[in-house]
Amino acid sequence: MSQLIKNGRVITATDDYVADIFIEGETVSAIGKNLSVKANKEIDASSMLVFPGGIDPHVHLDMPFMGTFSSDTHETGTRAALFGGTTTVIDFVLQTQGKSLQSALDNWNSRAKGNAVGDYSFHMAVTDFNENTKKEIKHFIEEEGITSFKTFMAYKGALMIDDRQMIGLMEEVKKCGGLINVHATNGDMIDYLVQKHREEGKLSPLYHYLSQPEVTEAEAAERFVDMANFTGCPGYIVHLTCEGALNAVRNATKRNQKVFVETCIQYLILDASLYEKDFEGAKWVMSPPLREKKDQETLWAGINQGLVNVVATDHCPFMWEQKKMGENDFSKIPNGHPAIENRMELLFSEGVNKGKITLNKYIEVACTNPAKIFGMFPRKGTIAVGSDADIVIFDPNKKHTLSAKSHHMNVDYSGYEGWEVTGKVKTVLLRGEIAIENNECKIEKGFGKFIKRKKVSQNI
């Protein structure tokens, strides 16, 4: 099977030109002007942008939580991602404290295998680092192709590891060629504030926000950066939201340290005023919470300064009924919001279209950097001869409105209801196969492959 995408404006992290793209099987085999090749199918992409499939390296699909599960499965979540131009996602496997990493992976595989529509990989969240866990790290990197290890500096008693475990894990991960992702917030400070607010009868979603002030994130980011510097382990801060935390990273660059930073689309375009809407604010209860306008400016500037490397989602949807578990207590609201389908279009509309970032930067933070940092480049994250033909054909002028009525995520509300967006995904190819066309998904569950990743490089 071969396909020819004709006359599109091809955008990568570094290029911008009009050309034809010839695809044979799963990969791109030629790029050039007026290619004279015979293809089984031709797609006219005149006046369209043609860019690499998006990579969302921070999603939680079918994640067990408080006796329930995040509402998108690997099937519905990766399908919704494809509708929004994201062809590969990286989901988090969570170790249960007292059990092995392998048993957690087996558990996640049992839900993901054969169900994913789009391509996926896993990060391994280490919640209990001990002599047994230590022995598993090398195997994960070399045999499983899982090279990134998530740590939590918060959620004591469930997910959090202490600094002693963090240092030990960093040394082992560095030795084996992996990377540490971190949820960098000060768990003890947050636990104290949550308890204080509950005792004072302050129970609305607003107090979720007020229990996680900027300092709780800035302090932990700085501590993590120092530990990464001490051990020499590559570090990646997930969902960084604020000026104080980014300044910790900025300071680290002064001693020639590189720490990767991810923010999420919501932190760039939504702010904490949404928590003033009584219980409706639960739609945006996530950790860290939304911040202030000044933090949005910091994050956009950080992208252009090369300090913020990735824009992800932390997609973790819950139905409104599930959110209502915390109707009388903000600390019982399941954390997370849906965005896997909206990220690429929102970042284009709010970022590129409003002149905050260039088209090349857009591709860099949404496609190329996630592929490079997490060991999938150049197979994923760019359009080049030999790369997987994961390609988005995008209409940059098409206006549309985001709504729970039309999205494909398995969740009954949208965090962006009524949001006017300029730019729409038109056609998506995944490994040379048409995945999305005419607003329909053309591939079935099970098409999505687990992508084994290479060891990480600190130089991107």
Residues in contact with Zn ion by the rule CB under 5 A: 314
CA distance 278 to 274: 9
Q: Which is nearer to Zn ion, 315 or 453 (CB)?
A: 315
| DSSP assignment of 93-148 | EEPPTTS-HHHHHHHHHHHHTTT-SSEEEEEEE-S--SHHHHHHHHHIIIII---E
* Cβ 347 to Zn ion shortest distance, Å: 18
Q: Which is nearer to Zn ion, 92 or 362 (CB)?
A: 92
Q: Which is nearer to Zn ion, 315 or 424 (CB)?
A: 315
* Cβ 57 to Zn ion shortest distance, Å: 10
What spatial distance separates the first Cα and last Cα of the chain, rounded to whole Å?
A: 34
Angle in degrees, 0-180, between the axes of helices 131-139 and 163-176, rounded to the nearest 10:
30
Q: Which is nearer to Zn ion, 87 or 181 (CB)?
A: 181
Contact 290, 284 (CB under 8 A): yes
* Cβ 60 to Zn ion shortest distance, Å: 6
Angle at 266 between CA 191 and CA 310, to 5 degrees: 95
Q: Which is nearer to Zn ion, 116 or 316 (CB)?
A: 316
CA distance 295 to 391: 32
* Cβ 272 to Zn ion shortest distance, Å: 19
* Cβ 338 to Zn ion shortest distance, Å: 13
Cβ within 8 Å of residue 378, ≥6 positions away: 371, 384, 386, 387
CA distance 8 to 91: 32
* Cβ 127 to Zn ion shortest distance, Å: 13
Q: Which is nearer to Zn ion, 314 or 364 (CB)?
A: 314
Partners of residue 6 on adjacent β-strands: 44
Q: Which is nearer to Zn ion, 22 or 108 (CB)?
A: 108
* Cβ 313 to Zn ion shortest distance, Å: 9
The CB-nearest residue to Zn ion is 314
- Torsion angle in degrees (nearest 10) through CA of 293, 298, 301, 306: -140
CA distance 353 to 419: 15
CA distance 172 to 180: 10
* Cβ 314 to Zn ion shortest distance, Å: 4
Contact 51, 394 (CB under 8 A): yes
Q: Which is nearer to Zn ion, 314 or 350 (CB)?
A: 314
Q: Which is nearer to Zn ion, 155 or 320 (CB)?
A: 155
* Cβ 126 to Zn ion shortest distance, Å: 14
* Tokens 């971190």 -> residue: 182
